[in-house]
Structure 1
Amino acid sequence: MIIRDNPHSLRLFFIIRGSVLPLIYLRIIFITLLGAGVAGAEHFYPEAFPDFTLAPVALFGVALSLFLGFRNNASYDRWWEGRKQWGKLIVASRSLSRQMISYVDSKQPEGAETQKYVINLVIAFSHALRHQLRKSDPWPDIEPYVAQKDMQYLRDAQSLTDGILRLIAIRLGECRRQNSLSDFLMLKMDEHMTAMADVQASCERIQNTPLPFAYMLLVQRTAYLYCFILPFGIVASQGLMTPLFSAIIAYTFFGLDALSEELEEPFGVSANDLPLHAMSRTIEINLLDILGEKPLPEPIQAHHHRLE
């Protein structure tokens, strides 16, 4: 995710990092060259170009703008839903850890070990979920927080995140059977575990249910078709300025299309995707602080205005 102060209006024209220009500049160049070719041909052979009215091009542009607007809104809704779910995970992780420290007596036999065991597993859950969503190797990040006796159990689990939640539930169940937790406290802690499972399921729903392919295909085809016919529609009125207007409109439509594609998959590693690494590190720092561990890991910092 791009993190930066609002730049001066003049600098906006020169910012490349975080924009979609690197993804679409070849298409813009092609449309600009097409516009230049059409403008040159019309300048030297005006009789070959009938005097088109701008009305059909304008109506086509309005329709395309509506399509792109709907798709952009749908993609942003997915991005924002992903961010809200990770916000819920931060709240549930802090709340469960706070209750472990507050209500499990560290002076009782195995009380302090139980606190550390559960809170470490909560940290491991956040890292495991991040790696699951990004399809990367989770073990280097979670091994420091998982007991050696549980490693094989988690490696055999079909879902690593679900396996971690089961280990937490098993340990809390043992506490209840030993009367270390009351039924009421057990119920409240289970609510936080359920919230964590709900975040996992919601993120999986977003990741595994993309926008309908036919809708995406319709928008992209229409955007390409419009930008291809645009120079022919405006050359009679714009003349040698046709390449400039063609480039601006191509940047707008192709840019919205490319941005929608990035936002549609909010858990990736593109410049505008969610900073899952930074959020999982925030959970790690907060929970280790609850345990009283020192020194704490450093927060993830933005590198060249990009937070991962």
Structure 2
Amino acid sequence: MIVRQKPNALKIFFTLRGSIIPKIYYQILLITFLSSLITAIQHWYPSYFSSYGTAPFILLGVTLSLFLGFRNNASYQRWWEARGLWGQLVFDARSLTRQVISFIDDDTETGRDTQRQMIHLTIAFTHALRHRLRETSPWEDVERFVEPKHHASMRQTQNLPDYLMRLMGKKLGDSRRQGQYSELMVQNMDERLTSMTIVLAACERIHNTPLPFAYMLLVHRTTYLYCFMLPFGLVSSLGWATPLICAVIAYTFFGLDVLSEELEEPFGLAANQLPLSALSRTIEINLLEALGEDELPPAIIPENGYLQ
């Protein structure tokens, strides 16, 4: 995710980090070349192209703007919902840790072991969820927080975060049977586990349910057709300014199209997607600090204005 401050009026035209220009410059160059070719033909052979009015292009441009606006709103809603879910996960992880430390007696070895296991499993769940959403290998981050006796079965599971949640529920039940806390405290901590399960299910829903392909295809086709036809409608009135105007319009429409695709899947590693690694590391640091650990991992800081 881009975390830099807003660039000034001069730098705003030359900023590429986080911009969608690297992804659409081929389309912009293509439209500019086509517009220049049509302008040159119109200049040397004025009667070669018929003179078209701008009204059809205005109507089509307004329609395309509505389509792109709707799609960008839908994509941003997915992005913002995903950010809210990870904010809820931060809240649940900290709250569960506070409850575990506050209500489980740490005067005994059993109590300290229960605290450590519950907090470590919470950290493991956070890392496992991030890797599941990004479809990356989780074992390096997860196995160090899970007891070795669970490693074999953990590697065979189809849904690692859900498996870890079951381990946490089992540990909570074992602790209740040992009388480490009251029924009311069990209920409160189980509510936190339920909330974390809801976060998992909601993130999977966003990840596994993209916007309808037919709608995306319609927007793609309409954008290309509009930008290809636009020079024919502007060349008779704008002349040599046609390539510049068409390039700016192509940048706007193609840029909105690509940006909506990037926001539609908020869990990836693109510049404008969510910083799940930084959020996971924040949870890990907070929970280990609450557990009394001295050796904490370093916080993930932005590099060149980019937070991973």
User: Smaller-chain TM-score range?
Assistant: over 0.9
Matches of 2:260 and 2:227, distance apart in 1: 18
In structure 2, runs of 5+ residues without a counterpart are none
Aligned to 2:293, the other structure's residue is in SS state coil
Matches of 1:52 and 1:174, distance apart in 2: 78
Aligned to 1:61: 61
Q: Which amino acid aligns with 1:75?
A: S
Matches of 2:236 and 2:187, distance apart in 1: 73
Aligned to 1:180: 180
Task: Map Cα deviations across residues 248-279 of structure 1 (whole Å, 9 max, x no partner).
Answer: 00000000000001001111111111100000
Aligned to 2:23: 23
| 1:69-148 equivalence runs, <5 A | 69-148=69-148
Q: Which amino acid aligns with 1:33?
A: F
Q: Which amino acid aligns with 1:91?
A: F
| 1:1-308 equivalence runs, <5 A | 1-308=1-308
Matches of 1:51 and 1:154, distance apart in 2: 69
Matches of 2:68 and 2:109, distance apart in 1: 62
Matches of 1:109 and 1:270, distance apart in 2: 45
Displacement after TM superposition at 1:240 (Å) = 0.6
TM-score, normalised via structure 2 length: 0.99
Displacement after TM superposition at 1:291 (Å) = 0.3
Matches of 2:51 and 2:149, distance apart in 1: 80
CA RMSD of aligned residues (A): 0.8
Matches of 1:158 and 1:33, distance apart in 2: 50
Q: Which amino acid aligns with 2:273?
A: D
Task: Map Cα deviations across residues 83-133 of structure 1 (whole Å, 9 max, x no partner).
Answer: 000000000000001100000001135000100011000000000000000
Displacement after TM superposition at 1:142 (Å) = 1.0
Q: Which amino acid aligns with 2:146?
A: V
4+ residue segments displaced more than 4 Å: none
In structure 1, runs of 5+ residues without a counterpart are none
Displacement after TM superposition at 1:179 (Å) = 1.3
Displacement after TM superposition at 1:143 (Å) = 1.5
Matches of 2:6 and 2:114, distance apart in 1: 47
Matches of 1:165 and 1:211, distance apart in 2: 29
Count of residue pairs the alignment pairs up:
308
Aligned to 2:150, the other structure's residue is in SS state helix
TM-score, normalised via structure 1 length: 0.99
Matches of 1:158 and 1:144, distance apart in 2: 20
Matches of 2:243 and 2:157, distance apart in 1: 58
Aligned to 2:47, the other structure's residue is in SS state helix
Displacement after TM superposition at 1:181 (Å) = 1.4
Task: Map Cα deviations across residues 119-153 of structure 1 (whole Å, 9 max, x no partner).
Answer: 00000000000000011110000121111112123
Displacement after TM superposition at 1:217 (Å) = 0.2
Matches of 2:177 and 2:109, distance apart in 1: 14
Matches of 2:121 and 2:287, distance apart in 1: 10
Q: Which amino acid aligns with 1:95?
A: S
Q: Which amino acid aligns with 1:47?
A: S
